[in-house]
Amino acid sequence: MPDNKGATYSSRPRQELNPSTPVFPTWTIKPPDLYRAIFPQGSFLGFSQTIKMSSPFSINGGACVAMVGKDCVAIACDLRLGLQALTVSNNFPKIFSYGDSVYLGLTGLATDVNTVSDLFRYKVNMYRLREERAIAPTTFANLVSSSLYEKRFGPYFVSPVVAGLEPKTGKPFICGFDSIGCIDFAKDFIVSGTATEQLFGMCENLWEPDLTPDELFETISQALLNAVDRDALSGWGAHVYIIEKDKVTKRLLKGRQD
């Protein structure tokens, strides 16, 4: 027998391999427990194990505000349509006219914005045919409220804002709603959308009673533009409507394009 230097031999007799003995080692812990042992925080390569769904009201972004002036009222909205941080379009207006002095602003899920605006177009046309007169802002507000409450078990993901002038008295009227039609009347301003906190702060600082149409335009424009500059989900310009007794002025504002 040749001399193999450095080799070691065991004096124990060689064991025969039992066919029933597993060749590969078995796990002493189950795979989920192994996962938790390796990744105790519940994450893998930086991705969380739990996926959270976004609020339907913030998926597409948007902002809307209405303000009261002296014998006039203003409503304004941004123009951005997004998919979270991705900007899809910079020309998506959210204000719709339903008469000479009745305007509706809609923020929320873009598909529901289109659906609800078309629904109210149909209902207002039917009202005009039956009553043979234009709809008043207070009547339109009650129509919006009842229509949203009708769908309370499967609501539209929108936050409407109504602004207008009463046809008989010329008194300014604004109000807001939640997604199931609860009305929030206001005598100063109403906001909705993903920039509500920023809009509240700007409006509380800038709004004053008895603003003239020109002052109201400047106030609502500065409030909206400065608010959307601080919200990543809204912006890219704005539409502003100044509603007076004898005319409606629409202006396009250019904002930051980022």
Whole-number pLDDT of residue 255:
87
Structural fold of domain 56-253: Glutamine Phosphoribosylpyrophosphate, subunit 1, domain 1 (3.60.20)
192 — pLDDT class (breaks 50, 70, 90):
very high
Angle at the Cα of 176 from the Cα atoms of 175 and 177, rounded to 5 degrees: 135
Return d(Cα 211, Cα 45) in angstroms, integer: 56
Tell me, what's the pLDDT at 26? 53
User: Which pLDDT score is estimated for 54?
Assistant: 77
| Distance separating alpha carbons of residues 248 and 252, to the nearest angstrom | 13
Instruction: State both tokens at 100.
Output: 């000479």
Distance in angstroms (rounded) separating the CA atoms of residues 104 and 64? 10
Q: Which of 26-40, 42-56, 112-126, 193-207 is the least confident region?
A: 26-40
* pLDDT digit string, tens, across residues 44-56: 445 444 445 678 9
Q: How large is the average pLDDT for residues 71-97?
A: 94
Domain definitions of the chain by residue range: 56-253
Any residues with CB less than 8 A from the CB of 197 and at least 6 apart, and which?
Answer: none
Model confidence, pTM: 0.78
Is residue 17 pLDDT above 80, yes or no? Answer: no
Q: What is the CA radius of gyration of the chain?
A: 31
Residue 10's pLDDT is 46
For residue 125, the model assigns a pLDDT of: 97
Average pLDDT over residues 207-213: 94
Pairing state between β 238-243 and 248-253: antiparallel
For a pLDDT cut of 70, what percent of the chain falls above it? 79
Tell me how far apart the alpha carbons of residues 56 and 157 are, in angstroms, rounded to a whole number.
6
Indicate whether 19 pLDDT > 70: no
Residue 158, pLDDT > 70, answer yes
User: Reduced to 3 states, what is the DSSP secondary structure of residue 147?
Assistant: helix
Report the distance separating Cα 157 and Cα 160, nearest Å. Answer: 10
pLDDT of 7: 46
Q: Which of 202, 198, 149 is nearest to 177 (CA)?
A: 149
Confidence band for 143, pLDDT divided at 50, 70 and 90: very high
> By the 8 A CB rule, do 104 and 161 touch?
yes
- Which range, of 44-53, 195-204, 224-233, averages the lowest pLDDT? 44-53
For residue 204, what are its two tokens? 């509380």
What is the pLDDT averaged over residues 192-209? Answer: 94
Question: pLDDT above 90 covers what percent of the chain?
Answer: 74
pLDDT at 21: 53
Which residue's structure tokens are 């912006």?
235
Other Cβ atoms within 10 Å of 144 Cβ, number:
25
